[in-house]
Amino acid sequence: MKKYILLGVPLIFYGQSLLIYFSNVHQFLLIILQVLLNIAIITGCMIFLLKRTRLQNVFDWIIGICFSVYFCILYHNTVEFLFIFDYVHFTLNNLRSTIHFSVNLIPIKGILDVLHNNPSPLFQIVGNAFMLTPFAFALLYFKWSKNNKQAIWFSFLCTVGIELVQFLQSILSSMFEIGMGRSSDIDDVILNTFGAVVGVGCYYLWVKIKQLVNQKIKNSGVTF
């Protein structure tokens, strides 16, 4: 049961935002609702993963804490729910315009747009490329997936799920200004899946290093 201490990470991560808006009562009440919803979603996902997790040594705990922080950051930067509730006049043209400008289904087009229009394109592309690398590594490290193919498949489903949620958030934003308008891009799926492959490679590199180190210290009886 000690492993459920990690559920405190999202509480700390999102709890600090309450202090920022405490001075404005009306905004504070809205922020409470927003924070509670996001904490509930993250906590539910973490409980699902922790039920399948065994933390047997110090290094397992370190990886577990790092993954918990990473998971909060990943959620915050991709699908976090924001409440604005500022009604806008909705028309079908607005919806079509939102879909046109926020959805890209042409491979490589999004990457080229970033290279031409973003002041720091390398940062954004590399960020997307390695966004799910820790996720894929954790899938194998904690045995949440049975093999590398399954880890890549789960990562692929994760990135597709993120893009679908972002698409729905764009629709809600265009209709009612509920949340943040986000873009959905097939290139993000490609880059994220590539990052998952890198994560799988990092795990197998870790296994090889672990085997070499354990061979050197096997007489001492200490392993990690």
Q: Where are the domains of the chain?
A: 1-83, 90-224
Token duo for residue 27: 């905004």
So what's the pLDDT on residue 144?
96
Residues ≥6 apart with Cβ < 8 Å to 157: none
Write the pLDDT tens digit of every residue in 137-188: 999 999 999 999 999 999 999 999 999 998 888 777 766 655 556 778 899 9
Token pair 């996720």 is at which residue?
135
In the prediction, which pLDDT does 141 show? 96
Question: If we measure between CA atoms, which residue out of 48, 49, 76 comes closest to residue 64?
Answer: 49
What pTM was estimated for this model as a whole? 0.85
pLDDT tens track for 42-86: 999 999 999 999 999 999 999 999 999 999 999 999 988 876 555
Q: How far apart are CA 130 and CA 24, in angstroms?
A: 38
Q: pLDDT at position 101, please? A: 67
Q: pLDDT per residue over 92-147, tens digit each?
A: 566 566 666 677 888 888 888 888 887 777 888 888 999 999 999 999 999 999 99
